[in-house]
Structure 1
């Protein structure tokens, strides 16, 4: 059964070579490469009304069956932005989804790890790892299983405005050649 994960393209930050001209000023592209992303999630701190659509039969090859949920997400900053927590509680005709996500920033790698646990079984899902690009969009990737089937997971976070964000999760059974979206959430700020 699919886990409801709150799960980016791993930011490759250029080579670690030493330049022969060590005193030259960095250009704009290298300035972006060393950008500190520890405050990438600051836009999301607060309370949100959350609408979620979950594909109930992912990677089945069958006609898609979607379930809709509505509820709240509460996002808190931890440790000066180097971590944050998300409390998700949504309900709909198909039942409830309650879970927590702990997002941790790795300053050495300049990337985030998104870790989700459903309160239904208390188990942590494997993390998705990545970060945010210059366009403000976050892309995260990881490996998981759907039943016993190994899959790739992609999680995309798109800030739409200061008061709205979109989250989209997709699974791939072919190593990332093709993706099937199975989780869409739209958050609208309430506080």
Structure 2
């Protein structure tokens, strides 16, 4: 029997305090981590088969505002994660994948400074009130990965 993953993100619906670390200059000797704090608000739509994440974080390096639209494909039994940064209004290439227990793993293709790279996005439900999100890039067809984004979320309760 096939597994219905359309409820995989139900645990995440709500408001979260988020701490984000972003690696600027991936694959260069002068790559530097910068940090941001703010909120992530997750809204459910279509009985859980889609959701929208509103990210708003800021730090010494500025502000990141973005939205992630997540869509479940029941035929493929996979999710697509589609992110847009409000700084430039552009939608990044989607990543595709699924959850196994409390771990979601998603893969896609993007470009970085004109070079085609692989992208891996991992979502870890650490508890009902804590989650970790990791994005990594590979410039060698997945033989090695460089971590470029880490977000640690803690649920804000009323």
Cα RMSD after superposing both structures: 0.8
What's the CA shift for 1:184? 0.3
2:28 is the alignment partner of 1:51? no
SS of 1:37's equivalent? coil
Which runs of at least 4 in structure 1 moved beyond 6 Å after TM superposition?
none
CA distance in 2, matches of 1:128, 1:58: 19
Give the number of aligned pairs: 157
Tell me which residue corresponds to 2:70. Answer: 103
Structure 2: gaps (5+ residues): none
- After TM superposition, the structure 1 = structure 2 runs for residues 1-191 of structure 1, keeping only pairs within 5 Å, are 31=1, 34-60=2-28, 62-133=29-100, 135-191=101-157
Tell me, yes or no, if the aligned pair for 2:102 and 2:126 is still in contact at 8 Å: no
What's the CA shift for 1:57? 1.2
CA distance in 2, matches of 1:131, 1:37: 8
The structure with the larger Rg is: 1
Tell me the alpha carbon deviations over residues 45-67 of structure 1, each in whole angstroms, 9 at most, x when there is no partner.
0000000000011111x144100
Q: Please, what TM-score do these two structures have when normalized by structure 1?
A: 0.81
SS of 1:108's equivalent? coil
Higher strand share: 2
SS of 1:80's equivalent? helix
CA distance in 1, matches of 2:113, 2:146: 16
SS of 1:170's equivalent? strand
